[in-house]
Structure 1
Amino acid sequence: MVLYVYAITKSSHPLRLDGLTSVGGEESALRTVCQESLCAVVSEAPEQIEVKRPDVEAHHEVQERLWSDGVTLPLGFGFVAEDDDAVRAVLDQGAEQFAERLEELTDRVEFNVKGVLEEEAAMRQLLEESEDVRELNEATRDGGGTYDERLQLGELLSKGMLAQQEALAESVLAALRPYARSERLSEPSQQYFLSASFLVDQEGAEEFTKAAEQAAEEQSEGVEIRVRGPLPPYSFA
């Protein structure tokens, strides 16, 4: 029987699974597979695992219930194992590493922070700050200017926006790092100039939230800082 695996816990965890719906839609179908001091929370895997809202919500509900009762190693959506024996083998082989990680994550939570910069706002700032950009923008307005001028303007805008994004990201990171134990950074994307996860002591979660709110308030128009948390520490498990 192929198993869907949600998380790894200590065997001393309350493992309160009643009333939860599994990925695949079956209520109260969750159970545990244990090996000495560790347990994995599992259910029978559906024939096809797709990223559908009901299944993603079920996955997260299990994670949040488990985390509310004690430390876990939460797995991302979609982890499966061949059968109970395969799960026990993984627990046995990784016992020392899993135990260490569980201790490191005890009483800690995760915050996700994303930064969005509106393109129009970035352009306005570049026009205000750079005389070269202003002159080239004026020269090429309404399709005017030479090919070289249009090419130069594009290069200046690209470099300028990249520099803006890097500076914004560093300012937000500098404001939040003093309140975090660890961080995981993702590469900037077209959508986000910053995408970071922070591991924070549970007792310091309120301070981190306030620091994030202050960092957001200090940004100029067109910059948005989005914060999610506290969450189970998916990125650090």
Structure 2
Amino acid sequence: MPVVLYGIVRAGHPLLDPSPGADSALGIGHPRAPLRLVRSGPLAAVVSATDDIGELGEQEAVRHLEILQRLLADGPVLPVRLGTVAPDDGAVRAEVLDPVRDSLPERLDAIDGLVELRLDVEEAEQTELAEAVAGTSLAHAPPPADLDARIELGQRIAELVTARRTEQAGEILDELCPLARADRPRRHHGGPEDPALSWAFLVPADALDDFDAAVDRIRAAHPSLTVEYVGPLPAVDFVEFPARVLTDPHDTDPGGDSFSGSADRSSGDSFGDSFGSSFGEASGGTSGDSFGGSGRWGWGRTVDRSETGRRSGNGRQRKEF
């Protein structure tokens, strides 16, 4: 029977409450079925049976993430892309777990007790432009009539905006990086079209309150910034995931494999990118190794009904991504 995949955990990972009527123990799809483990050696995949994965919208995305977050409370978990459906338990063992049963346990051990927090920082364009030129000779200068002069002016303003963003990012990272075990950018920075900051932090699960307080201080110190703060999440941006494990769907060849993905960060695609794309964020281009799928795998069709979890304001968005 087809099964929906959610994540990979240790073989002894406790499952959510399986008692009758416990909604937290049910997966997605139609009908919704209890979560269970498909084991292979030291690893297990968290799955649920389904007759039809159906369309994937906001409700399914939030449900998928809630399952991962509840699993994360009891140990490390590496998520599989939203809506991934395997033909049966045997395919999960043979094509997902068996190829990594010797290498993945060590990677799970390395992130035990750690969670990922994400910070995305933007500023309204008009505010950004006004603040960038404030105190310079451009603040009250009339726009030049000459085209070349206007182009030069635009370039100077773009440089000022970039310098302002770089300064803001540096101040924020100086506040947050000492509280994290590791950190890394999630998007390109440094250009006039780039965000002020898009960063991931690897933080001990028992240190979330300190990190929350630091983000509150940043919001207070930079009231003009929109700060989106999300987590705790599985530490996908800090694990080099094996390329043969399911991460991202691509065009299906009717005569061959149904999946091709890459975990090579140098190619612009990563497990973290694919996890993000499950919830509406852009994923990098694909290249590199292919997943040796059976041709029977499938993915639900994502329907963008709203901007799930992309909110700002006080606090951290714990359940929506």
- Shorter chain as normaliser: what TM range? 0.7 to 0.9
Equivalent residues of 1:16, 1:65 under 8 A apart:
yes
**Structure 1 SS opposite 2:216:** helix
Which residue of structure 2 lines up, in the alignment, with residue 134 of structure 1? Answer: 139
* Inter-partner Cα distance in structure 2 for 1:152 and 1:46: 61
State the shift of 1:68 in Å: 2.3
* Inter-partner Cα distance in structure 2 for 1:170 and 1:25: 47
State the shift of 1:111 in Å: 0.9
* Inter-partner Cα distance in structure 2 for 1:48 and 1:155: 50
State the shift of 1:121 in Å: 1.5
- TM, length-normalised to structure 1: 0.85
Determine whether 1:26 maps to 2:31. yes
State the shift of 1:76 in Å: 3.6
Which residue of structure 2 lines up, in the alignment, with residue 200 of structure 1? Answer: 203
Alignment of 1:97-108 (within 5 A): 97-108=103-114
Match of 1:218 among 200, 221, 229: 221
Q: When the two structures are aligned, how many residues end up with a matched partner?
A: 230
**Structure 1 SS opposite 2:119:** strand
Determine whether 1:154 maps to 2:154. yes
State the shift of 1:67 in Å: 1.7
* Inter-partner Cα distance in structure 2 for 1:208 and 1:234: 19
Letter in 2 for 1:182: A
Match of 1:229 among 212, 228, 231: 231
State the shift of 1:36 in Å: 1.7
State the shift of 1:17 in Å: 5.4
Aligned CA RMSD, in angstroms, stands at 2.4
* Inter-partner Cα distance in structure 2 for 1:51 and 1:183: 31
Equivalent residues of 2:187, 2:199 under 8 A apart:
no
Question: More helix per residue: 1 or 2?
Answer: 1
Alpha-carbon deviations, 1:112-158, whole Å to 9, x = none?
11111121121112231321x236xx322xxx622122212211122
State the shift of 1:81 in Å: 3.4
Alignment of 1:38-77 (within 5 A): 38-44=43-49, 50-77=55-82
**Structure 2 SS opposite 1:96:** coil
Equivalent residues of 1:21, 1:58 under 8 A apart:
no
Which residue of structure 2 lines up, in the alignment, with residue 14 of structure 1? Answer: 14
**Structure 2 SS opposite 1:165:** helix
Determine whether 1:183 maps to 2:189. no
**Shift in CA distance, 41/48, structure 1 to aligned 2, threshold 3 Å:** closer
* Inter-partner Cα distance in structure 2 for 1:192 and 1:51: 28
* Inter-partner Cα distance in structure 2 for 1:97 and 1:183: 23
Equivalent residues of 2:120, 2:198 under 8 A apart:
yes
Determine whether 1:145 maps to 2:151. no
**Structure 2 SS opposite 1:139:** coil
- TM, length-normalised to structure 2: 0.64
% of aligned pairs identical? Answer: 29
Alpha-carbon deviations, 1:159-180, whole Å to 9, x = none?
2212211221222122111111
Letter in 2 for 1:121: T
Equivalent residues of 1:73, 1:234 under 8 A apart:
yes
Which consecutive residues of structure 1, in runs of 5 or more, have no partner in the other structure? Answer: none
Equivalent residues of 2:9, 2:43 under 8 A apart:
yes
Which residue of structure 2 lines up, in the alignment, with residue 114 of structure 1? Answer: 120
Larger-gyration structure (1/2) = 1
**Structure 1 SS opposite 2:176:** helix
* Inter-partner Cα distance in structure 2 for 1:49 and 1:112: 29
State the shift of 1:27 in Å: 2.9
State the shift of 1:35 in Å: 0.7
* Inter-partner Cα distance in structure 2 for 1:31 and 1:110: 25
Which consecutive residues of structure 2, in runs of 5 or more, have no partner in the other structure? Answer: 240-321
State the shift of 1:64 in Å: 2.0
**Shift in CA distance, 211/82, structure 1 to aligned 2, threshold 3 Å:** same
